[in-house]
Structure 1
Amino acid sequence: MRIIVSKHSEVNLVFKLHDIDIWDNITICSKFTIRREKQNCAYEPNLINFPNSHNSRIFSCLQSWKYFYDSRIELRTQFTFRDLIRQEAENNINQIIKRLDIGSSKNITLVGVHIRRGDMVNNGLGFNVATSQYLTKAMHYFNSKYQNVKFIISSLDVQWTKANMPNNTNLIYTSYPKREIVVATLALCNHTITTVGSFGWWIGWLTGGEVTYFKWPAKEGTFVRTQYSKDYSDFFYPGWIGM
């Protein structure tokens, strides 16, 4: 079977996709058989068990590592940032190192921190946002395990973030207008502190080091909670550290 991706889709504009069909016009896909998941953040084996005798569209979030775990090496190859994005991200890291006056990134441990709040604060669906206690605990974990740790922090809610992060000279706040630059820059770090949402999840996965996550992304008894498996294990990647 062949994978079809729109030429104008964000995934194609950001990554160097290869060995798949990049089409300028994908209107024909609207006629394909739709296969839709029942839960956005849980694994459904039947979703990917279908015959190759007809065309299919798979919806929609697929936010479980179990869907792609067997193809994770190939997927990392697919998710190679386009040159201009990678160069801008590398320049951001180099500027940070220059600002710190430490000579080389080899002398420090960089931990990317993505703090999502925005649409998840005071929402009616049941999202939880990570607490200041979680962020403090996660930072303590990396400080206790690695030497000379520097935290590169990205958030749209900078005011809350600065008010709730520990007072620490090792914090570097960044502000990039393009979200693909945020992802590419934080993915160049050694490790990741995620909060909630899929955006930080993929930053952690792309980075590939140790990753901490907020264990309670949904409030019990809400719609969002029904979208996860019972113990969240379908969503959080194996080996990540819940706090």
Structure 2
Amino acid sequence: PSTTRSPSASYICPTFTGRLGNNLFQFASGYGIAASKNVQFVIGEGDNINKIFKLKADNHLIVSKTRRECAAAKFRGEGRASGFDPNVLKFKADTTHRVGNFLQSWKYFHNVSSDIRGQLKFRDHIQTKADSTINGFLKKYNTTRENVTVIGIHVRRGDMVNHGFGYQVATKEYFEKAVALFNNYSSPLFVVCTNDLAWSKANIPKSSKVEFVSGNSPEVDMAVMASCDHVITSVGSYGWWAGWLSNGTVTYYKWPAREGSGLRSAYSSDYMDYFYPHWIGL
């Protein structure tokens, strides 16, 4: 079917706020909501997500020069940022709606996850840098991709360590447990991406081959982790997407928010609207 519709058609429009991890949830959930309403989701050519990924127009997506389709959109907001809110979906698709703000639940896009995987291919200049990063480590150990299991480790600390809102960073013990789990895989090679290199070098277990990535843009680091076989995530939406895009075995830190905090109330009671099914909580 044609992907161009008449100007009188209605659309779903995004609310892009925050950084890459937030934008990926906003994109995927918006796309999923559009698909469930059988209309198209509108992305602007200049949107960050379009500069990083090779987005292609399809039955549920338009890449628009001006986003004029969104000029008169009605806003439809969530009840909690990191939980599924069925009320977001309770609207008639005969007018254009802007959805937001964070929509950080896989339940908004589970029905179209294979389409979203197809859309979220990194642009060549990003993927090439990621590949050369991993290939450099393989060369160092005189091995090939077929002979190792590459495990990405995301360590996010920096902006979260002393934050009053309730963020809890993944602990040294968490990383020890996760590394121990993957040490059971054949010939593991751990590749660490972090915003706190000093802490990571001091605390990530050195029992196996461990390499640290530094100096890349956030999108190249994400492409590195997405290219790994499996991922040890820490906290935050950025690591969530690195894990999801890898499509391998993923571990997560079970307590990303302090009980009773503002952040905790953004999640469902068991966190399961947020963490992906079959991921391993440690």
TM-score, length of structure 1 as denominator length: 0.96
**1:134-175 CA distance string (max 9 Å, x none):** 00000000102x111010001010011111112334110011
Which residue of the partner structure matches residue 174 of structure 1? 213
Which residue of the partner structure matches residue 117 of structure 1? 157
Indicate the SS of the match to 1:216.
coil
Equivalent pairs: percent with the same residue?
A: 40
Report the Cα distance in structure 2 between the residues aligned to 1:105 and 1:42, rounded to whole angstroms: 37
Report the Cα distance in structure 2 between the residues aligned to 1:48 and 1:216, rounded to whole angstroms: 28
**1:181-215 CA distance string (max 9 Å, x none):** 11111111100000000000000000001000000
- Equivalent pairs, count: 241
Which residue of the partner structure matches residue 84 of structure 2? 43
**1:96-143 CA distance string (max 9 Å, x none):** 1111212x1111100001111111111110010000000000000010
Deviation at 1:8, TM superposition (A): 1.0
Which residue of the partner structure matches residue 247 of structure 2? 208
User: Of 182, 204, 229, which aligns to 1:142?
Assistant: 182
5+ unaligned residues in a row in structure 2: which ranges? 1-38
Output the amino acid matched with 1:17.
L
8 Å CA contact 1:176, 1:182 repeated in 2: no
Deviation at 1:59, TM superposition (A): 0.7
Report the Cα distance in structure 1 between the residues aligned to 2:96 and 2:110, rounded to whole angstroms: 23
5+ unaligned residues in a row in structure 1: which ranges? none
Q: Which moved more, 1:105-114 or 1:167-176?
A: 167-176
Output the amino acid matched with 2:234.
T
Q: Which moved more, 1:213-222 or 1:45-54?
A: 45-54
Deviation at 1:82, TM superposition (A): 1.4
Which residue of the partner structure matches residue 187 of structure 1? 226
User: Does 2:266 correspond to 1:235?
Assistant: no
Q: After the TM superposition, which segments of 4 or more aligned residues of structure 1 sit over 6 Å from their partners?
A: none
Report the Cα distance in structure 2 between the residues aligned to 1:80 and 1:241, rounded to whole angstroms: 25
Report the Cα distance in structure 1 between the residues aligned to 2:136 and 2:202, rounded to whole angstroms: 25
User: Of 144, 158, 169, which aligns to 1:129?
Assistant: 169
TM-score, length of structure 2 as denominator length: 0.83
8 Å CA contact 1:151, 1:170 repeated in 2: yes
User: Does 2:115 correspond to 1:74?
Assistant: yes
Report the Cα distance in structure 2 between the residues aligned to 1:176 and 1:182, rounded to whole angstroms: 9
User: Does 2:142 correspond to 1:101?
Assistant: yes
